[in-house]
Each structure stands twice: as structure tokens, then as C-alpha cells.
Amino acid sequence: MTAPRILLIEDAEAIRVSVEAALGTAGFEVRARADGEAIEQDLVGFRPDLVVLDVLLPGRDGFELLSLIRRNSAAGVVMLTARDGVEDRLRGLGEGADDYVVKPFVLAELVARVTAVLRRTGRTRPTVEIGDLVVDAEAGMALYAGERVDLTTTEWKLLSHLAAHRDRVRSKTQILAAVWGYDDYAENLVEVNVSTLRRKLEQHGPRILHTVRGQGYVLRGEVG
């Protein structure tokens, strides 16, 4: 299954470049445009799963493009605007936008909102979520706070096993059997790999992989 496709229409270059990079890092396939002049072709040729749409655009504005999208596509729509008036937000949502983000915004929040809309519209793969961590088994990808976590094959297998048993303590023996295929030695192998995985995760957010003394390890969102 391919990554969800995002069409980004934003005329401010700095915002367009940063949003495109953030969405790409999060694992989406992104096509970025400075205006909506090619939107008819993009809806047919690129077939986006979701459109991130600025309101104030040269030529056709975001509301006109929203109407066009709703007539021709089932794609989700997240609108961006510098306007913070309630009227604009109500208009966008009333005309079919799925969400509305007011500038300035935090990139991680936008990625999270895009992901949430895709999930509601059934355009994402089944995932496991623990706090801000999203583990996508089909894509072989983990996102933490909207950023992709760079993992080795072994680290991915370890994370997948712990995610599949979220909130349940897994012993070193159980982890050895699931990840390496044996269960009677080399417990230090688990300790080393858990330590490395934990360090990589904590580069993106708070501790989510916990040690339960004398029992093993558990993946859970709350501190404990």
C-alpha cells in the first residue's frame, strides 16, 4: 500500500517549503503548489487523499477551490489561514472543510491534524498509537510527535513487538523469542537494543518505553 498522498496549496514560499518537508518526513507523498491553477489536473492525475489548502491565494481563493474539490473529489481538506475570525472558520467548515488551522501554527500539530483527518476518512493504514507514537506495521514506519523515527531492521522488529503488546510488560525471554528467534541466552542483547531504541524515541518526545524492574519492558504513553 502506498503512502497517503497530500496536495499542498500555499502561496507563501517559506510556509510551503516547511510544510512540504514536515509532511514528507512524516511519510506522506506530497505535491506542493503555489496556487490552485492546476488543481483540476492534480485531482485527476495525482489523486490526493487530502488537500492542505491556504485560504488567501492568488487567482482562485481557498473557498472557491474548496467548492471545486468537494464537487470532484472525496479528498479530505485541511484549510490554512492567517485569518482568525470565527466567520471564516465557520464558512470553511460549513462548505466542507474537515479541519481549519490558523497561522502561525506548529508543524507537528499540522501533521497530527492531517493524520487525524485521514484516519477519520478511512485513508490511512491500520496503525498502533501509544501517546504521540504511531507505529504503522504495513509501511514499516514509526512517527513520534509527527516526525519519522530512523530505525534499524532489528529496532523496528523490537518496536513492532512492543507496540503489538502495548501496555503489557514483555520479559527479556519473550522479546528474545519474538525478535531474534531464541529464548535461552543473550539477555544483554535485549538490554542493549532497548536502550538504543529508547534513546531514538526520546529524541522526539517524552519517555514512552519503560523498564519494569525484575519483569521486563513495556511501551505505554503515560509516565510510569
- The full set of domain ranges for the chain reads 5-120, 128-219
Check: CB of residue 158 under 8 Å from CB of residue 199: no
Q: In which residue are the cell numbers 493504514 written?
A: 125
pLDDT digit string (tens) for 175-210? 888 888 775 666 788 999 999 999 999 999 999 999
Residue 142: name the closest of 154, 159, 125, 126 by CA: 159
Q: For residue 54, what is its C-alpha cell?
A: 491556504
How many CB atoms neighbour CB 147 within 10 A?
Answer: 19
Class of domain 5-120: alpha beta
pTM for this one?
0.59
More confident position, 221 or 160:
160
pLDDT digit string (tens) for 98-115? 999 988 899 988 998 998
Check: CB of residue 38 under 8 Å from CB of residue 60: no
CATH topology for 128-219 is Arc Repressor Mutant, subunit A (1.10.10)
